[in-house]
Amino acid sequence: MSNDIAKNILRGVVFLFIQVLVLKQVEVNFGWLTEMSLLFYPLFIILLPTRFPTIAVMIIAFFTGLFVDVFYDSIGVHASACVFLAFIRPLAFNIFSPREGYSVNLYPTIYNLGFLWFLRYCSFLLFGFCFFYFAMEAFTLGYVFQILKKTVVSFFFSMLLMLVFMLVFRPKE
């Protein structure tokens, strides 16, 4: 059990540093595509084991988002989007539940549940995260078309990045 916790902490730290040290700079260097934000760190929350209680995942998500907020100079936008992601995660588990159900110690990865299941599960969560993130960034639904445009573009590139990571490294846990 403590080995699982250590693996998840290490994964979270690596994902956060990839986000704030590498992907933030990519956004700056590709200024011509201002509608895009590469969001890789939500994969940390998406890959947490199914047995984690929702409240624990929401607390982890809050601090994960708060860490990113510090580097992005956004006040609570990432934190609120991460908590929303943690909140809808059980809904995604219910919607995309396999016929035989989930194992107690299951990690929701391509290796454990297959590519199509992971694609649907991750797409649902990432799209919800992106929409909520850009809605909070604008702080009004008056800019719904800009929010949707940013959501779709960021979702596409972020999902592509996450799928490449999952297919190359094929984590079991």
State which amino acid sits at residue 77: V
Separation between Cα atoms, residue 126 and residue 4, nearest integer Å: 24
Give the pair of three-digit tokens for residue 62.
């809050």
Give the Å distances, CA to CA, from 41 to 44, 101, 161, 165.
6, 27, 11, 12
- 122-151 pLDDT, tens digit per residue, is 999 999 999 999 999 998 878 898 899 889
Mean pLDDT, rounded, of the chain: 89
Nearest to 42 by CA among 150, 132, 168, 171: 132
In the chain, where the domains are located = 2-24+35-169
pTM for this prediction: 0.91
- Which pLDDT score, from 0 to 100, does residue 71 have? 94
- 39-68 pLDDT, tens digit per residue, is 999 999 999 998 889 999 999 999 999 999
Query: 36, 134 in Cβ contact below 8 A?
Result: no
- Which pLDDT score, from 0 to 100, does residue 31 have? 55
